[in-house]
Structure 1
Amino acid sequence: MSDMPLQILLTNDDGIDAPGLAAMREELTAVGEVTVIAPAENQSGVGRARNEFAVRREHPWGYALDGTPADCTAYGLRGLDTDFDIVVSGINDGPNAGNYVVGRSGTVGAGIEAAFLGTPAIAVSSYHARDFFCHPPEEYDFSRPARIACALLERVAGTSVFGDVGLLNVNAPIDVPQPRMRVTEPLADYDQHVDHHESTTLLPDGDTDRQLDDDETLVRLRDVSWPETVGYENPFPPRDEHRERYPVGTDRRAMVDGEVSVSPLSVHHGHAESQTLAGIVDSLSEFVE
């Protein structure tokens, strides 16, 4: 690492007033100059969505932006004069593990935006080995995940790590003393549960006034992002079944074992080879006029 202090851009998806961001900032100020640009309100689950316009407000730590985490990253890296060395996103008050969940995470989305703009990034999420979700966040202490993420940042900054990967996705327990840290890969384990409501006047998002027409059906889509768990219940029990389902080296197995999961991600949607597809395309060439 250089003798010059690191220039760190800190953002999140839980909003600029989130306890996880405050804990992360406190740790990072010991190793570098920290500029916070975070959403003014909660932006969980927005992935890497972007907006063309966003209102910026001054904040004692930097700026609050009426936008997504990816907006905050894009603005920080291209809208300020600071040449940032790294982007840190988090700490999220809940895990982002499993490739489907990771792909939809606003915490990870901020890091993906950084990678596309050529800046290393670490996305940091927390989990509780017993409660799973750290909610409400005010009741949890995020200092351990913050210390873990800060130590990792100090070790990887200035190395060749980010020449090989675009983003590090970290899930750290808040309640496990001296947890083991493991390099992992996001595991594909996902399904969707669909409910049909044939007759109702109660629609989601506060729309309670519109009566459904005769040809309309209210459809509810609910994630099954852990086995047999619909919604946001604690998916860990029974733990032995999850150990059998998730092999060592996956991000979800690390969480079942109370470990720190560090997943190096490639974010540029790399090219995949398929000889079968090449043959099909070649055979169809004569039909294209």
Structure 2
Amino acid sequence: MSDGYTILLTNDDGIDAPGIATLREELTSLGDVTVIAPDGNRSGVGRTRNHTAVVREHPWGYALSGTPADCVAYGLRGLDTDFDVVVSGVNDGPNAGNYVVGRSGTVGAGIEAAFLGTPALAVSAFHTTDFFLSPPEEYDFSRPARVAVGLVERALDSGVYDDVDLLNVNAPVDSPNPPVMLTEPYHDYGQQVEEVEDEDDELGPDERRVELRDRTWPDAVGWENPFPLAETHRERYPVGTDRRAMVDAAVSVSPLTVSHGVADSARLADVIETFEVE
């Protein structure tokens, strides 16, 4: 690195979240940092985009009334700046596992950047016993932020982004010297559906309310902390997966591509060859 990098920083917890403040401060060691982040919490929106958004000037850059992907799109195409990299985070809570990664606004920002031709890194934080960082103001995001800075610098300098579109990183806030592991997102997801009753509901005779509860970790429903089951998870998740790295209090680094590559299916080729539209 000679003159420093030009960095676009965003998140999905909102521009006032403690994680992005810590990451911004650490990233200034690498170059010029422009923050374009949602004006409020936009967690779990994936790569959702809006047709319009309100942009408000902020001391760090801009607050935008949209999603993390909107922020990236505005930064990369709405500003007269050629950014070297997009960094998203530090997210309050981990983003590990195929399903969670696909729904994450933090990761969604990185995917948007990659589609627009800019390298990206998404970084999320977890606590090795508390799991979620709630309330986030009571936790120190410095270690995940330093991990992100080190990985951004090394990945850009070494040409990693010639082969990789996006690095998805999960780092512990409380492990003093965590090992850094090369990982891949692990698929483990379930859904629990239950009918619920609410006395205030004004539903029609042919309507009913249902609750859709994620089961993104075994034996944990919704936002429950799964880490008391660490020994069970250690047996369940293979070494080399992002979830196993988290259970082992390590930094998980998953190199991702976002090209939506085409699968080679001989069976589908046979279906198409014999398919006739009537």
Answering whether residue 219 of structure 2 is matched by residue 220 of structure 1, we say: no
CA contact (8 A) 1:193 1:223 kept: yes
3-state secondary structure, aligned to 1:238: helix
2:13 corresponds to? 14
1:188 corresponds to? 187
Residue type at the aligned position of 2:142? S
CA contact (8 A) 1:45 1:105 kept: yes
3-state secondary structure, aligned to 1:211: coil
Alignment map for 1:254-265 (pairs within 5 Å)? 254-265=245-256
3-state secondary structure, aligned to 1:156: helix
Provide the C-alpha distance between the structure 1 equivalents of 2:152 and 2:159, rounded to a whole number of angstroms: 13
Provide the C-alpha distance between the structure 2 equivalents of 1:238 and 1:194, rounded to a whole number of angstroms: 23
- The Cα RMSD (Å) is 1.0
3-state secondary structure, aligned to 2:227: coil
Answering whether residue 225 of structure 2 is matched by residue 250 of structure 1, we say: no
1:270 corresponds to? 261
CA contact (8 A) 2:129 2:228 kept: no
Provide the C-alpha distance between the structure 2 equivalents of 1:30 and 1:127, rounded to a whole number of angstroms: 24
CA contact (8 A) 1:56 1:65 kept: yes
Residue type at the aligned position of 1:165? V
1:240 corresponds to? 231
Provide the C-alpha distance between the structure 1 equivalents of 2:125 and 2:41, rounded to a whole number of angstroms: 16
3-state secondary structure, aligned to 2:69: helix
Deviation of the 1:196 alpha carbon: 1.0
1:135 corresponds to? 134
CA contact (8 A) 1:200 1:212 kept: no
Structure 2: stretches of 5+ with no match in the other structure: none
2:168 corresponds to? 169
Residue type at the aligned position of 1:108? V
- Deviation readout 1:98-126 (Å, 9 max, x if unpaired): 00000000000000000000000000000
- Deviation readout 1:224-261 (Å, 9 max, x if unpaired): 00002111111122211101100000000000000000
CA contact (8 A) 2:213 2:222 kept: yes
Identity %: 68
2:198 corresponds to? 200
3-state secondary structure, aligned to 2:158: coil
CA contact (8 A) 1:126 1:173 kept: yes
* TM-score scaled by length of structure 2: 0.98
Residue type at the aligned position of 2:261? G
Alignment map for 1:49-128 (pairs within 5 Å)? 49-128=48-127
Provide the C-alpha distance between the structure 2 equivalents of 1:107 and 1:63, rounded to a whole number of angstroms: 17
CA contact (8 A) 1:37 1:62 kept: yes
CA contact (8 A) 2:11 2:20 kept: yes
- Deviation readout 1:10-31 (Å, 9 max, x if unpaired): 0000000000000000100111
Deviates more, 1:62-71 or 1:160-169: 160-169
Deviation of the 1:282 alpha carbon: 1.6
1:205 corresponds to? none
Residue type at the aligned position of 1:67? G
Provide the C-alpha distance between the structure 1 equivalents of 2:105 and 2:133, rounded to a whole number of angstroms: 17
CA contact (8 A) 1:115 1:121 kept: yes
- Deviation readout 1:113-144 (Å, 9 max, x if unpaired): 00000000000000000000011100100001
1:288 corresponds to? 277
Deviation of the 1:281 alpha carbon: 1.8
Deviates more, 1:211-220 or 1:93-102: 211-220
3-state secondary structure, aligned to 1:13: coil
Provide the C-alpha distance between the structure 2 equivalents of 1:158 and 1:276, rounded to a whole number of angstroms: 43
Deviation of the 1:47 alpha carbon: 0.4
Deviation of the 1:68 alpha carbon: 0.4
Residue type at the aligned position of 1:75? Y
3-state secondary structure, aligned to 2:228: coil
Provide the C-alpha distance between the structure 2 equivalents of 1:167 and 1:213, rounded to a whole number of angstroms: 46
3-state secondary structure, aligned to 1:237: helix
Provide the C-alpha distance between the structure 1 equivalents of 2:223 and 2:198, rounded to a whole number of angstroms: 24
Provide the C-alpha distance between the structure 2 equivalents of 1:170 and 1:46, rounded to a whole number of angstroms: 18
3-state secondary structure, aligned to 1:122: strand
Residue type at the aligned position of 2:149? C
Deviation of the 1:201 alpha carbon: 3.3
CA contact (8 A) 1:40 1:66 kept: yes
Moved over 6 A (4+): none
Deviates more, 1:16-25 or 1:270-279: 270-279
1:31 corresponds to? 30
1:207 corresponds to? none
**How many correspondences in the alignment?**
278
